[in-house]
Every structure is written in structure tokens, then in C-alpha cells.
Amino acid sequence: MSARAILGRLLGVIPTLLITWTFVFGAMRLVPGDPVLLMLQGTPISDSAMEAARAKLGVDRPLVVQYASFLANAAVGDFGDSFRSRQPVTKLIAAEFPKTLELALGGFLVGVVLGTVLGVMAGVRPNGWVDTLCMTTALVGLSLPSFWIGMILIQVFATQLGWVPVLGSGWDALILPSITVGLFLAGGLARLTRNSIIEVMGQDYIRTARAKGLTAVRVVAKHAMRNAMIPPLTLLGIQFALLIGGAVVTETVFARPGIGKLLVQAVLEKDFPVVQGIVVLTTGVYVLINVLIDIAYGIIDPRVQE
């Protein structure tokens, strides 16, 4: 993909970012409750002190001014200070983001490996017992709620068998949360990979490769997978971005810190800067990943250039 095409992709995401940031700005202002009162948690305060606190937080300014200030600061990565803790939002996010990223990467790895294996096995031998078993497993991963999967894994592998801990900061404490997060991704990826493999395996160049005497493993690995993985790439990019921004339930079940829990707490406390900072971060990651997917398209299939 040319530099001009990449620049065009980057410029094309500006409206998406603007709409998303505008939506979260407006939504937070519609949430009932005064951020100053929530911050004080019932502590008595005079009217003059209330007005001074509102002025200090900047919520007494007209919405248009607040909106313009938010956009200008967000463009340079400045989200101000948290209403609640009075710490810089970037510092709060920086402290929690590595923990969420760790969980997202673990779940992504589980999802990619399991989903690819299930999808390829089902696609190579469709409509048989292997296909049925693989797709049933994928459907289970898609259908069961993540909080239920997490509690079952905790009960079986942590409580009864004692193989892995529930809490902790080591890699062993990451196994169960990663499986919980990754099963949903694996289910969707397996179904999409299966359909792509079936479609690709019917192409003329696959029949030509088989006629040349290539082994089934080489036909699938070298010829089929290259083209079959183009559609799943989109799903992987979207899901990884969602894993970063949406691991709230898993972090809650396993009592793990992260930006998911930070976001929920900020919404409940109407902490505008923290919510806005997290949304800007997650949307930025989402956009970046999708641009990288477009570039990957051009690498995997040179026909995709513009």
C-alpha cells in the first residue's frame, strides 16, 4: 500500500473520532447528578464554596466552551485532572492500561490460536463429525456469557483442582482470565475461518496445487491460508480493540485492575476527564488497528492496493 493510500486512510478516520468524542462529551453531560456533589460525597459546603469548586473544575463554563476545550486538549493528549482524585488523567490511565493490555493480549492469543485451529479443521473437512464438533465448540464460546465462563473456570480449575490462582500478578494468574476473554473471539474467528477455508479450497489454484502432488498440509498452509485469512483479519482487528476497551466484566469477575474498572467508577462518579480520556484512548487504538489491517491487506494480497 502506497504512502498516499495510508495517508488517505488516516485522514478518513478523523470524522469517526470527532463523532465518537462528541457523543461521549454529550452523554456525560446528560448523566444525572452534579460532579461536585458526587466528589464531595455528602460533605456540607457553602454555596460560595460550591461555585468556587465548579469554577475550578471548569463545569461552570458554557457547554460550547467546554466542548471546544475538550477537543483541543484531546488532540494533543491532554485530558486534564480527575475530578475525584485530582491526579492527571494520563497518569491514571497509564497506571491501569498495561494491566488491561496484558489481559487483552492474553485473550487475543487464546482466541487466535483456538479459533484458527477450529476453523481450519472444520473448513478442511466440512460437513463431517470434525466440522460439527469444532463448530459446536465455537458456538459455545459465542453463546455463553463471559461472567459465567469465568466463574465456572474459577470453580473448577482454581477452587477444586487448585491448578492456577484466581488473584495475583504472575502469568499463572492470567491464564483463566485470558481463556474467559479469548473464548468469544475464538468462536467468531472459527466460524469465519471455516467459511473462508471452504470458499478458498474450491478455487482453481488449489486444485492445481493438488494436481502437482503437494501434500494436504502444504496446500492448506502455503496456498489456502494466505487468501482465507483476509476476511478474519477484520474481525481480529475489531475484536482486539474491543478487548482493550471492553474487558470490564472479566476484570470484575477476577478482581483485576484495569481501565475497564476505572471507566465504570468514573462514569458512576461523573468524572468527565477520566471517561473522556479513556474513550479517546480506546477509539484511537481502534482506529490505529483498522489502519494496520488495511496495510496488512496489501501485504497479504498485493491486489489490494488502494
Tell me the per-residue pLDDT of 10-27, one tens digit each, with 9 for 90 and over: 677 778 778 888 887 887
pLDDT in tens, 244-294: 665 667 777 787 888 877 888 887 777 878 888 888 888 777 777 777 777
* Rounded Cα distance, 278 and 90, in Å: 9
The answer to whether the pTM exceeds 0.75 is no
Residue 303 has pLDDT above 60, yes or no: no
Q: Is 185 helix (H, G, I), strand (E, B) or coil?
A: helix
C-alpha pair distances (Å), 291 with each of 3, 8, 92: 12, 10, 27
* Rounded Cα distance, 127 and 135, in Å: 10
Quick one: which of 187, 121, 100 has its CA closest to 149?
A: 187
C-alpha pair distances (Å), 138 with each of 133, 146, 197, 230: 9, 14, 16, 20
Average pLDDT over residues 120-140: 85
Contacts of 28 (CB under 8 A, 6+ apart): 267, 270, 272, 275, 276
Handedness of CA 269, 270, 274, 275 (dihedral sign): positive
Residue 51 has pLDDT above 60, yes or no: yes
Q: Is 303 helix (H, G, I), strand (E, B) or coil?
A: coil
Q: Which domains does the chain have, with CATH numbers?
A: 1-306 (1.10.3720.10)
* Rounded Cα distance, 105 and 83, in Å: 31
